[in-house]
Structures are given as C-alpha cells and as structure tokens.
Amino acid sequence: MRITDIRELSVQLQGNVANALVNFSEHTISLVAVFTDAVRHGKPVIGLAFDSIGRYAQGGILRERIIPRVMAAARSDPAGLLDATGLAFDVPKLLQVMLKNEKPGGHGDRAAAIGALELAFWDINAKLADEPAWQTVARHFCTDAKTDGVHVYAAGGYYYPDDSTQRLRDEFRAYQDMGFDAFKMKIGGASLAEDMARIEAALDVAGQGRRLAVDANGRFDLKTALAYAKAMEPLDLRWYEEIGDPLDYDLNRRVVEAYSGTVATGENLFSVPDVNNLLLFGGMRPGRDVFQMDPGLSYGLIEYGRMLSLMESRGFSRTDAHPHGGHLINLHIAVGLGLGGCEAYPGVFQPFGGYPAGCAVGGGLVRPTAAPGFGLEEKPELAPFIRQLTA
Ligand code: MG
C-alpha cells in the first residue's frame, strides 16, 4: 500500500459573522485529500480532513514543505510509513516525517497545516478498517469510547452587522428547535452593559446559567476581564472562555483566583509545551475548568493525545477536555477518546460547521454515524468541494 498523491484546496467560509476580535468573512480552511492505491468497496481509499475553523487555510506551508516531505518518504520507502501490521499507516511516523527540519517552538500556522494532513491519515486508517474513525481512535489510544454520544452545545451568538438582542433570541430558539439544550455566545465585541443585556436575552432562551457559556476570544485586558467576571458571577454560567491573550497565563490565573465560576481556554494553544505552561501557570482547577485544544490546529491527534496524557498526569480528567471546532472530525475524536463533549456551529461556518442529519442531536448529545472514517462525505455542504478536490 502506498500514497499516490496529496492535494489541498483552500475553501472560503460562508457568512459574515464576527467575534470580539475577528470577522470571519475572509476566512478560509484547508481541505486535504490523501490518495492511496488501496481499494475498498471497489473504490480507491482517499483520506479527507481539514484544519479547524478560525486560523485560515494553510495551502502554502502544505505545498512548499509538508506535502513534499511526505511524498518523498512515500517514494523512497513506502513500507516504512506503514505500521507493524502493514495494513494501516503509522501516524506517529508520518508526523515525524512532516516535522523534518522544523525547529521547536513558534507553533503557529505550521501546526494547523500539519494538523489537517495528519488527520487525513486517521480518516484513511478508519476507511482501511471499514469503520468509523472514533473506533480507530479508541483502539489506538486504548480508551473507552462514548458510544452513546457526547455532550454538545450550539456555539453561536456572534456579532452581526444588523445585530440585536431579538436576533440573538431568535438564533438560540432555532438551535433549541434543532435539539440543542446548551449554548455559547460571544462577548467583548460591545460594551459591558450591552453584553450583559445580550447575556440576559440568551438566558431567556437557555433557561439557566449552566446552559450558557460566554466566549471573549482572547480580547480582554485584566481590568476588563475582572469587570466582566464580577458582573457575570451571580449568573452561574457554564463557562467564561478565552478571557485574555491565549499565552497570557498570568492573566488567566488572576481571573481564576477572582472568579468562582468555570473558566475555559486552550483553543489557541498548539503544542504540548504550551499546554504544559497553561497547567503550570494558568491557575486551572481540576474538575472545574475546561480545556479546548483542537487537534486540527495543533499537529493532529498524536500531539493532542500527548496533551491529554499531560493533563491526566497533573490530576485533570479527559472529561475536562472539550475541543474547539464544532465539526465531524472533532466529534469522532471526542467520542473515541471519551472526552467531556464537543461544540456545534449549526448556523455558521459552512461548509465545515455542524453535523449531517444522520448525527442525531437530542437529549444534549450528538453521535456520529457508522460511515467509514470521519464521514465527511455525508455532509452535503462539503460534497462539491470534495468532488473538486478529488476529481
Ligand atoms: Mg472560543
């Protein structure tokens, strides 16, 4: 079995939504396809994946550095990229190949470029075994999969050009009609008074604080962060997310010390050393606070598994992990690794966000279908881009 080709397509995100810091109307995502000469059900096995939402497509890094390294290894020693059985790709080995001649540290766009390609090999391995990816993931990491599904919340509540508290209420009611019973909204894109009015409007729909999380997208300085913490504390919200700059561990610790509610962060930490620093200096509390590292942004699933092991060695549980990025890939990962849950973007970030109809949302849970791999082929919004990439 060998790799015959690797391609990347930069896909534009649809919609005109914004959080406190970023407007997504210009954002792109790398959809990656790895072609093999293996055949299942009469068709060649093609691995599909993408880097997650929020950090742009990585076609340049993939085409100039990462894909040539993997293709060179595939040409010179194809068997060397397979695991001991010879029936599946050795993903840790492939990760090493992708990282050849890369210095440590400075984990930026490179981590998302490699994340997209690394995840495509999990899709291939699952398709080779003719099973959904969560099963391949659980077997590799020896974890108890959450076969009944994982907790899910609808992430939305962005700032729109024509925003109002009524628009926010309508949006969350629509998610409720889809079967979601928990929600997340953005804060920090308006004044504290305006944001508190938005939070009250969202609580009208959510019913209780534990069903509503808020996300500042790293915008706040310490003074603002503490003012919001004080105003929101009586509401007993689900969590207060990415309060300050993702690498400002001291700010995170100071807010944690002043705020009795749950704090969540980690979606913009892309490596094990970054997570180690969060654990050492961020004040995160086992059993209380939430970790949101995202495999597609941080070198893929092998690095993510190392992050979870590190968390567990410091007294945290993998159920404290809720990966950022409400899409099919992270759903399979959350189920396979037995994580606390995952998010969904039912209304935004198409064609990548949300889940196809077969993934029943209900009772606060979402579960993958039995489609082989990550099942991206079942998502109708993605189909034209997959066709374009694999034609
Ligand atoms: Mg966030």
| Sign of the C-alpha dihedral computed for residues 214, 218, 223 and 224 taken in this order | negative
Q: Which of 38, 374, 344, 329 is nearest to 172 (CA)?
A: 344
Predicted pLDDT at 81: 98
In the reported structure, the alpha carbon of residue 382 is separated from the centroid of ligand 1 by a whole-number distance in angstroms of 23
pLDDT in tens, 196-253: 999 999 999 999 999 999 999 999 999 999 999 999 999 999 999 999 999 999 999 9
Largest CA distance in the chain: 62
Taking the C-alpha atoms of residue 368 and residue 146, their distance in angstroms, rounded to an integer, is 11
Which backbone phi and psi does 188 adopt, to 5 degrees? 95, -5
**Residue numbers in the chain where pLDDT is lower than 50:** none
Alpha carbon distances (Å) from 264 to 151, 217, 255: 16, 11, 11
In the reported structure, the alpha carbon of residue 71 is separated from the centroid of ligand 1 by a whole-number distance in angstroms of 35
Look up residue 51 and give its two tokens. 């880097």
**Three-state DSSP state, 265:** strand
3-state helix, strand, coil in the chain (%, to 5): 45, 15, 40
Taking the C-alpha atoms of residue 188 and residue 243, their distance in angstroms, rounded to an integer, is 9
Is 140 an active-site residue? no
CA 179 to chain centre: 21
CA 85 to chain centre: 30
Predicted pLDDT at 341: 95
Q: Which of 230, 218, 212, 169 is nearest to 189 (CA)?
A: 218
Predicted pLDDT at 313: 98
Give the whole-number percent of the chain exceeding pLDDT 70: 100
In the reported structure, the alpha carbon of residue 217 is separated from the centroid of ligand 1 by a whole-number distance in angstroms of 5
Predicted pLDDT at 19: 76
In the reported structure, the alpha carbon of residue 256 is separated from the centroid of ligand 1 by a whole-number distance in angstroms of 17
Residues 6+ apart with CB under 8 A from 223: none
Beta-sheet pairing, 3-12 with 365-366: unpaired
Give the DSSP letter string of 339-391: -SEEEE-SSSSTTTSS--TTS-EETTEE---S-SBT-GGG-TTTHHHHHHHH-
11, 28 contact by CB (below 8 A): yes
Which is catalytic among the residues 146, 324, 327, 379?
Answer: 324
Which is catalytic among the residues 186, 322, 327, 379?
Answer: 186
Q: Which of 104, 103, 118 is nearest to 58 (CA)?
A: 118
Taking the C-alpha atoms of residue 286 and residue 19, their distance in angstroms, rounded to an integer, is 28
Predicted pLDDT at 330: 96
In the reported structure, the alpha carbon of residue 75 is separated from the centroid of ligand 1 by a whole-number distance in angstroms of 40
**Three-state DSSP state, 212:** strand
345, 171 contact by CB (below 8 A): no
In the reported structure, the alpha carbon of residue 323 is separated from the centroid of ligand 1 by a whole-number distance in angstroms of 10
14, 24 contact by CB (below 8 A): no
**Three-state DSSP state, 9:** strand
Is 324 an active-site residue? yes
